[in-house]
Amino acid sequence: MANRGSVFGEWINIQAERKLQEVAQAICDGLTPEHMETMAKRNLTLAQLLQRTGHTIPKVSILARPAVNHLVQMPDEEILDLLQAVVPENVAVLRRHPAFCASVIRDLKRFASG
Could you tell me the residue range of the domain that residue 20 belongs to? 7-113
Whether 39 is covered by a domain: the verdict is: yes
pLDDT of residue 56: 67
Model confidence, pTM: 0.80
Contact at 8 Å (CB) between 107 and 49?
no
Whether 63 is covered by a domain: the verdict is: yes
pLDDT of residue 52: 67
pLDDT of residue 113: 66
Whether 13 is covered by a domain: the verdict is: yes
First to last CA, the chain: 18
Domain count for the chain, please give it: 1
pLDDT of residue 108: 82
Whether 23 is covered by a domain: the verdict is: yes
Whether 2 is covered by a domain: the verdict is: no
pLDDT of residue 5: 64
Whether 1 is covered by a domain: the verdict is: no
Blockwise average pLDDT, block size 10, the chain, 114 residues: 69 87 83 87 83 65 72 93 95 94 87 68
- Spell out a b/e string for 35-59, using b for 16 or more CB atoms within 10 Å of the CB, else e: bbeebbeeebebeebbeeeebeebe
